[in-house]
Amino acid sequence: MASPTVEVRVVIADDEPLARRGIRQLLATHRDVTVVGEARNGVEAVTAVRTLRPNLLFLDVQMPELDGFGVLRELGTAEIPAVIFVTAYDDFAVRAFEENALDYLVKPVEEARFAKALDRTRNRLTSADALAMSEKLAGLFALQHSSRAPTAARRLVVPTATGELVLDADEIDWIEADDYYAAVHARGRRHLIRESLSSLERRLDVEQFVRAHRSAIVNIERIRELRVAAEPTGETVLVLRDGTRVPISRRRREQVASALKRLSG
């Protein structure tokens, strides 16, 4: 006998527009799913859940004002819908979610992994498992409070025509925004991944990488020169070892200067 179907009403909570758009696109092919709302931070997420009453929440762990765990604490077990966590980290968060049998997605989100998590949630929504979710989430709070901060990513996994390529952080020269993707320049090649620069900036080691511009992250070790153009433009650029010129925005000049001081020290 086939399982009964349930309309899946979704709220997407993530501070990155690219991440929200990506989840919307992945949900578009599922006819039983309706996105009823979005939230740009934790406070908006709490409001959206209470007013729109979704039965599924895609919840980013790292958000301003109130993080994902704070959202769940604010709602309380009685108001929490089924949750699929979205995280840029693959250490503490993943271990905690697995121990509590909760669904999670690691950025950049893979389509096959996404479909699997959604199918699992559908099954829970039509079974008694849904009633036990709030207790499992409550158990996660205790783990989160006793955890240490996530460690910086030492590797990035990028898709290729033949599979996936694992890049050590040391191999990356710089990363640029490219529409809905990030272009990772490494080993003399350019690799596209579906992840925002803000997400990558949070994942990468701040001692090794610096955000030079809203559209560029640079490996500090690859910087050969900081060059200031003559007036009237006065544009400041980083010249990398391979000759690539990366502009520095005015608001990030101090941050880049501090990174260069660490390099010289």
**Start-end of H helices in 78-155:** 92-99, 111-125, 129-145
Residues 43 and 128 occupy one common structural domain: yes
User: Would you tell me the crossing angle of helices 68-75 and 42-52 to the nearest 10 degrees?
Assistant: 40
Q: Residue 77's domain is classified under what CATH number?
A: 3.40.50.2300
CATH of the domain at 222: 2.40.50.1020
Please tell me whether residues 229 and 174 are part of one structural domain.
yes
Q: Which domain holds residue 168?
A: 155-264
Fill in the DSSP letter of residue 161: T
**How far is Cα 241 from Cα 148, in angstroms, rounded to an integer?**
36
Q: Let me know whether 97 and 173 are in one domain.
A: no
| Domain end among 105, 125, 145 | 145
Q: Do 169 and 246 fall within a single domain?
A: yes
Of 100, 127, 145, the position where a domain reaches its end is: 145
Q: Is residue 32 part of a domain?
A: yes
Alpha carbon 147 to chain centroid, angstroms = 19
**Structural domain total, the chain:** 2
Per-residue pLDDT of the chain in tens (265 residues, 90 and over written 9)? 444 567 899 999 999 888 899 999 999 999 999 999 999 999 999 999 999 999 999 999 888 778 888 888 888 777 888 889 888 765 555 665 665 556 888 888 888 889 999 998 888 887 655 545 655 665 555 445 444 445 667 888 888 878 788 889 999 999 998 877 889 999 899 998 878 888 788 788 888 999 999 899 999 999 999 888 665 666 889 999 999 999 999 888 888 888 888 776 6
Same domain as 249, residue 165 = yes
Note whether 141 and 159 are same-domain residues.
Answer: no
Domain shared by 115 and 168, yes or no:
no
